[in-house]
Amino acid sequence: MGRHGTIAGRKAAQDNKRAAVFTKYARAITVAAKGGGDPDYNVSLKHAIDKAKSINMPNDNITRAIKKGTGELAGESYETGSFEGYGAGGVAVIVDVLTDNRNRTTAAMKHAFDKYGGNLGVPGCVSYMFERKGIILIEKTDEISEDSLMEAALDAGMEDMITYDDSFEIQTTVESFNEVAEALKKAGYELLEADVEYVPSMETTPTDEGDIKNLKKMIDILEENDDVQKVYHNCTLDLSE
C-alpha cells in the first residue's frame, strides 16, 4: 500500500496552501519543543524542523515556534488528537489534529463530515484498516541508483521500498524510522518527506462521481483547517487532482 498522488501534485497543493501549512508546521514545532528546544537531543523536534524547512519556512518562524514550546515566549497550549470516520463512498478517514480548543475542533470535524456525505465515528472505528509506518520519500533523479538506495536503506533497517514514476517510497517500522532516516541523510540522500504515518492495509475505490466529488471537497475542507495536521484515507484514487 503506497502513497496517493505524485510529487508534483503534492508540491502544488502545498504551494496553494502555504500560509496554512506554515501555521500547521509551526504548531508541530511548538508541541515538539516542549520535550526540549535542542533538535540534536529531541528527535521529534528535529523532524518537525526538517519538515518546516522543506517548505521553506523562514528561520525566524521556526525559532519563534521553538521558543513558544520551551516557554521563552508566550503562546497557546496545544493538545494532540485524532478523529476517525467514513467519507462519501465508504472511504475510511483519519484526521490528526493539534488544537488549543477541543470543542471547536470537534464541531469543525463533525460539520465537514456531515456536510459532504460522511460520518464522524468513534475512536477505533476505522484505524484497524491502517498500519503505523515510517514513510520516507525520495525524489527519483538520474543521479540516484535504485539498487544503491535500496542497499543503503536495507542496511539501515528498511522494511520495504516502493518505486513510483517520480519517486522512491521507503517504508520502515515505527521503531526503526529515525535510524533509517538519519542513515539515508548521512549517505547523502535528500528526503523529500519523512514522517510516521497511517498506511492503509485495506483500500476502497468509490465509483459514484458524486461520492468522489464530495470526498475531495471534504478532504480539502479538513486540510484547510488550521487545527488539522494531516488527513489520511484509504481511497485508491488520487484526491489531489
CA distance 109 to 96: 11
Ranges of each domain in the chain: 7-70, 87-127+205-227, 129-200
Q: Which residues are bridge partners to 34 per DSSP?
A: none
Contact (Cβ atoms closer than 8 angstroms) between residue 238 and residue 4: yes
**Residue 20: per-residue pLDDT:** 76
CATH domain 87-127+205-227 topology: Alpha-Beta Plaits (3.30.70)
- The label of the residue with cell 517510497 reads 169
Q: Does 7-70 match 87-127+205-227 in CATH topology? A: no
Buried b (16+ CB within 10 A) or exposed e, 159-175: eebeeeeebbbbbbbee
CATH architecture of 129-200: 2-Layer Sandwich (3.30)
Can you tell me whether residue 213 is helix, strand or coil? helix
**Residue 3: per-residue pLDDT:** 56
CATH domain 7-70 topology: Arc Repressor Mutant, subunit A (1.10.10)
- The distance in angstroms from the start CA to the end CA of the chain is 19
**Residue 1: per-residue pLDDT:** 44
Buried b (16+ CB within 10 A) or exposed e, 57-77: beeeebebbbbbbbeeeebee
Q: What residue ranges of the chain have pLDDT lower than 70? A: 1-19, 241
CA distance 95 to 84: 6
CA distance 85 to 122: 7
**Residue 16: per-residue pLDDT:** 55
Q: What is the grid cell recorded at 98?
A: 493539534
Contact (Cβ atoms closer than 8 angstroms) between residue 146 and residue 168: yes
User: pTM for this one?
Assistant: 0.83
